[in-house]
Amino acid sequence: MAKVGMIGAGSWGIALSVLLHNNGHDITVWSALTDEIHMLNREHEHKDKLPGVTLAEDIVFTTALEEAVKEKDILVLAVPSSFTRATAHSMRDFVKEGQIIVNVAKGIEESTLMTLSQVIEDEIPRADVAVLSGPSHAEEVGKSIPTTIVVGAKTKQTAELIQSVFMSDVFRVYTSPDVLGIELGAALKNVVALAAGIADGLGYGDNTKAALITRGITEIGRLGMEMGGKFETFCGLSGIGDLIVTCASMHSRNRRAGILIGQGKTMEEAMAEVKMVVEGVYSAKAAMRLAQKYDVELPIIEQVNEVLFNGKPAAAAVKDLMIRDKKIEIAHDEDWAGSNKEKNV
C-alpha cells in the first residue's frame, strides 16, 4: 500500500483518488477551497465536478497542504495548469528529497513557455517529477470504465513504480522516457480540440472533424519533434489517442467551449458556460510563441488564436485554412516525376 497525496480536488483529482483507493492505497486529498473540502467530507461525492461517483469514507479531505504532502510515497499534482506554479511553490517547504511528484495537469506556462513538469522542477528542484497522460476523461475513470494511459519519467525505476501504483484491471498504464513529448501532446491537443469544437458549433461534419484531427496531430508532432520529443509519442496515447478523445467527446471541456464559440459566443462567455477550466485557451498563445521560437508553422493553432484573441469570425478562420496554398502530405520520392522539395506544412 502506498501513501498518496492528491493535490487538487477537481474532477481529475477526484477520479484518480477513487482509482487509487480501489487499488488499495491510502489517499489524502487537498483543496485550497474550504467549502469544497467541507462538501467532500459531508457528502463523500463531488456533486459539482463528478456527480454520481462515491468517495470512500476513509479518504481524507483537507485544506492543510502540509498534511497532504508530508510522509507520502507519491504526490499527484492535479490542479489546473494556471495554478501549477503557485501550488508547487506553496508545497516546496514540505517536500522531501527525491519525492515523486506525478503531474496530471495539461498545459504550457505562457510566461516562460515551460512545460508543467519543468515548472514543478523549477519550484521544487529536489523532487523526482513524472507525468501521467493519455485519453482519460475523469467522468469515465471515476466510474471504472476501461482506460489506458502513459506515465513518463526520467528513470525506468520511477516510471515502473508509478505504473504499479496506478495500474488495475480497468486502468492500464504504459511507461515512456519521453516526458517532454508526452506533455507537449497533452497540452497542444487541447488547442486542436477547441478547433474541433468550433467546427461542430458551425454545423460542419465528420469530414471536417477528421481533417482537424489528422492535420492537428501533424502540427503537434512537427513542433514536438523540433523541441526534442519522439515521433512515437505523438503516434501514441498522449498524442493521437488523447487528441481523438478530446476532439470527439462531449466530456471534453475544450470541445464544449469550442462548440459555443462556433455558435457565436465569445471566449469569455464560452468559458463561463462550461464552468470548468478550459486548458486550451491558456495553451493557445504559448503554442504560437513556441512556433515562432522554433520556426514551425501551425496553421490550425494559429487560426484558433485568431478566433480566441483577435475577434476573427470562426467561419472565416475555417475558410482561411481551406484556401491556403497547395501543400504536399508525404514528401516526394527522388525518382517521382516532377519531384520537388516543397516544405510539408
Active-site amino acid positions: 189
d(CA 133, CA 179): 10
d(CA 217, CA 220): 5
Concatenate the DSSP letters of all residues of 288-311 into one string: HHHHHHTT---HHHHHHHHHHHH-
Distances in whole angstroms, Cα of residue 44 to Cα of each of 15, 28, 156, 198, 283: 12, 13, 36, 36, 33
Torsion, CA 232, CA 233, CA 235, CA 241, rounded to 10: 150
Distance of CA 237 to the CA centre of its chain: 12
Joined grid coordinates for residue 275: 464552468
Of the chain, the end-to-end C-alpha distance in Å amounts to 49
Contacts of residue 145, Cβ cutoff 8 Å, sequence gap at least 6: 170
Torsion, CA 107, CA 108, CA 114, CA 118, rounded to 10: 0
d(CA 255, CA 195): 8
Joined grid coordinates for residue 289: 510563441
**107 touches 81 (CB < 8 A):** yes
Distance of CA 334 to the CA centre of its chain: 39
